[in-house]
A and B are shown apart, each in its own frame.
Chain A
Amino acid sequence: MNRIELDCRRLLCPMPVIRVQNRVAELEAGVVLEVYCTDPGVLNDVPAWCRINGHKVIETRSESGLYVLVIEVGESE
């Protein structure tokens, strides 16, 4: 499976969301994107953004100040 990483550490919301949005726009459906963040706000904002835009958060991990979200890119209309 194709896994791509995106480093959003030290970025404050909504910058990580913008980075995810712009990266996802370049990706095919089914690709898995792993996003590394330090702003806990992403735990709300990235899933909300995914719900709105038809992508799936398949995993969320947090370990000592690092938040990792794994997103599966959905079909674009």
Chain B
Amino acid sequence: MNQPRKAAALISGGLDSLLAAKVMLEQGIHVEGINFYTGFCVEGHTHAIRKKDQKKPKRNNALWVAEQLGIKLHIIDIVEQYKEVVFNPKHGYGANLNPCLDCKIFMVSKALEWIKANGFDFIITGEVIGQRPMSQRKETLPVVAGESGAENLLLRPLCAKNLPETLPESAGWVDRERLFDFSGRSRKPQMALAQRYGFEDYAQPAGGCCFLTDAQYSVKLADLWKARGRKQYEMDDIMLLKVGRHLRPTPDFKLIISREEGEGNFLQGYRKQFPSLRTISHPGPLALIDGKVDDQDIELAARLIARYSQGREAEQVEVEYTATNGELRSLEVSPLKPHEIPEEWFI
């Protein structure tokens, strides 16, 4: 008996990749999913961090998609290698710091390595021509196939009929006639197909699949690079950019101030890496200091965090400063008034 042909599906957790994989399963292809973890993925994190979200059951959409399809899912950590994509995208950034085209090329090239190592025949993605302004245009889809090295091993079942024939089609592994010709920004064809397959409750991310498409997040990342004098980040940095209020009173340091209890607990975990501040006389947030500070800066930081505590109207608030070596210092400060906090401090 003939072994079925095997395809690796790039699974983001959104509807398009779910449908693309389903179309292949319907044609008798053996499909397994690959999900790349860049560190910026919208999945997870913020839910874990913010207390108010914790009541909602949280799910990883890529895992959910795989379960709906009844396929295996391989989650691949590309955090380190992905940095190069974020720092120097050959094709530039999108509206924010999202290097979508380079990102797609990188992911498909990783998928190509994976199929070679695991004896799979081809790669599928849920890309649709014209769906996304940067990476999914008629001109860019061939760029992804070409620069990733995947060439005609890359099949996009949702818009294949608008594209040149790929190997899986010409070799007769899949029937081109039963592929689709979706194009443009409309989501209607996908939604109709989802209904036909009986998928409900699927994720519909508004912007993109990652935080780099988020304007506010990108501003914070750009600020971090500027403050450090070069493009650089560690996993902790990109986590912390998702948490709290970020204020930069001087070029040398910024404050990360928790907005609620969940964030406070999360920031607690970083008190050995960053000096921290908390209010003692009044309930209030926890803040981390990222950068270099002198005594004057610490006092300013203390007045700022006092402003966000329940003692904001008080004459004096007691604030405790903890150095990274655990050394404590107590300060009595007057909270800053709202008009004393320039707009430019907010990142």
Contact = CB atoms under 8 A, between A and B. Distances in A.
Given A14-B44, A15-B77, A48 B60 contact: yes
Contact of A13 (B45, B73, B74, B77): B45
Do most interface residues of chain A lie in helix, strand or loop, or is the interface mixed? helix
B214 interface: no
Do most interface residues of chain B lie in helix, strand or loop, or is the interface mixed? mixed
Given A15-B77, A44-B58, A48-B64, A53 B48 contact: no
B57 A48 contact: no
Contacts of A52: 63, 66-67, 71-73
B54 A14 contact: no
A75 B68 CA distance: 21
B69 to A, nearest CB: 9
Counting contact residues on chain A (CB < 8 A from B), the size range is: 10 to 19
Contacts of B239: 12
A48 B72 contact: no
B75 A13 contact: no
Interface string B205-229: 0000000000000000000000000
B58 A41 contact: yes
Contacts of B49: 12
B79 to A, nearest CB: 9
Contacts of A51: 67
A14 B75 contact: yes
A23 interface: no
Contact of B72 (A15, A45, A53): A53
Contact of A17 (B63, B72, B269): B63
Considering the complex of A and B, which 3 residue pairs feature the smallest CB-CB distances, nearest first? Answer: A13-B44, A48-B63, A39-B48
Given A14-B35, A41-B48, 10 more contacts: A12-B45, A13-B48, A14-B43, A18-B75, A18-B76, A21-B74, A21-B75, A45-B59, A48-B60, A52-B72
